[in-house]
């Protein structure tokens, strides 16, 4: 939850919960009634917190697991009945545009930019430029999915990490062609990699060399130990090697030597869209994602990103 000051989202509450919906949909193809309780309870708590702080608008957005769930409509109805808050199931493009909006804070870009969000079940790639309409691509490969298919040890073995890196490179072959001059990585994968790589907390830059260091660290200690040492959730630490492999493959695919990790992403994009366009935010998302106005300090350049 946040308030908006021009182009800036001021966080008021920052909470997250790992519910494993992507894994559940992978296994069963849906989110059965008995598994909806924790989801509804979590979202009801978020709605109550937002209302308690005087939120003018509240909305939930659903991404890849709900796009694939056979019972997505039933889940949407159950959430809305229990919370009184609309749950919007985003398509790939909408998810990508909201991620872009969060990463740029609604400022127009001054050079070709790639925004990346490596999730548990999918990876979002959003490409935009000064004269280029934003394009969003969703790859059905993410940290949790890649880990589940290739990793059986904790910590992962050297051969398992090699398999993760090879699989990530193969998956990125399907990514769209582009020539970005900068890459911004958003979401939990990027934020957690910054925590474990020496020096990255200072500049929030992730390079192939720093990712190599992350692989070495992650194969040297169990996930619980990594989590305790660096303040990461154990579930996140468990899938972080796969996330690093995907980011490494993205840098290689686009020939860019570094990615800047940003704390702003889809959540901030949703807050900005709601604040800027109200209930019509989905209809105006294309325009919003390309930036607006002079009520902020300028456009996003290679350096700013």
Query: Is residue 31 in a domain?
Result: yes
pLDDT, the chain, mean: 90
**pLDDT score for 300:** 39
**pLDDT score for 21:** 85
Q: Which residues are 62's β-sheet partners? A: 89
Of 266, 288, 290, which Cα lies nearest the Cα of 277?
A: 288
118 shares its domain with 245: yes
Query: Is residue 33 in a domain?
Result: yes
**pLDDT score for 11:** 78
**pLDDT score for 9:** 84
Query: Is residue 267 in a domain?
Result: no
Span 96-101, average pLDDT? 92
Instruction: Write down the H helix ranges in 131-186.
Output: 143-150, 158-171
DSSP 60-93: EEE-HHHHH-TTHHHHHHHHHHHHS--EEE--HH
The pLDDT of residue 294 is above 60? no
Determine phi and psi for 281, rounding to 5 degrees: -60, -35
Using 50, 70 and 90 to split pLDDT, how confident is the model at 212?
A: very high
**pLDDT score for 293:** 63
The pLDDT of residue 245 is above 70? yes
**pLDDT score for 61:** 94
Structural domain span for residue 253? 106-262
Give residue 18's Cα distance to chain centre. 13
Span 226-246, average pLDDT? 95
CATH number at residue 33: 3.30.420.40
Least confident of 27-36, 38-47, 215-224: 27-36
Could you read off the pLDDT of 66-90 as tens digits, one per residue? Answer: 998 999 999 999 999 999 999 999 9
Instruction: Write down which residue in 231, 247, 262 finishes a domain.
Output: 262
The pLDDT of residue 191 is above 70? yes
Q: What is the DSSP letter of 255?
A: T
Distance CA(140)–CA(123), nearest Å, equals 7
Domains held by the chain: number:
2
Span 283-296, average pLDDT? 78
């Amino acid at each position: 939850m946040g308030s908006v000051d021009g182009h800036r989202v001021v966080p008021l509450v920052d909470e997250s919960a790992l519910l494993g919906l992507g894994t559940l949909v992978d296994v069963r193809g849906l989110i059965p009634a008995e598994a909806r309780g924790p989801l509804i309870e979590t979202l009801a708590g978020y709605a109550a917190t937002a209302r308690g702080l005087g939120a003018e608008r509240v909305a939930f957005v659903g991404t890849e697991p709900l796009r694939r769930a056979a019972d997505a409509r039933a889940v949407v109805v159950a959430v809305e009945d229990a919370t009184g808050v609309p749950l919007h199931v985003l398509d790939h493009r909408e998810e990508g545009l909201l991620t872009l909006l969060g990463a740029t804070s609604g400022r127009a870009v001054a050079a070709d930019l790639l925004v990346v969000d490596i999730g548990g079940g999918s990876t979002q790639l959003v490409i935009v430029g000064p004269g280029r309409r934003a394009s969003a691509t969703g790859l059905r490969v993410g940290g949790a999915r890649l880990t589940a298919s290739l990793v059986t040890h904790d910590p992962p073995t050297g051969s398992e990490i090699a398999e993760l890196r090879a699989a990530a490179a193969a998956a990125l072959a399907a990514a769209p062609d582009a020539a970005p001059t900068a890459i911004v990585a958003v979401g939990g994968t990027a934020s957690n990699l910054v925590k474990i790589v020496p020096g990255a907390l200072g500049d929030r830059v992730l390079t192939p060399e720093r990712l190599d260091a992350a692989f070495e660290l992650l194969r040297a200690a169990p996930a619980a130990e990594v989590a305790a040492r660096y303040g990461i959730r154990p579930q996140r630490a468990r899938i972080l090697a796969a996330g690093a492999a995907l980011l490494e493959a993205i840098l290689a695919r686009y020939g860019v030597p570094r990615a800047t990790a940003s704390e702003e992403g889809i959540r901030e994009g949703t807050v900005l869209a709601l604040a800027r366009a109200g209930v019509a935010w989905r209809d105006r998302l294309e325009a919003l994602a390309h930036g607006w106005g002079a009520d902020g300090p300028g456009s996003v350049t290679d350096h700013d990103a």
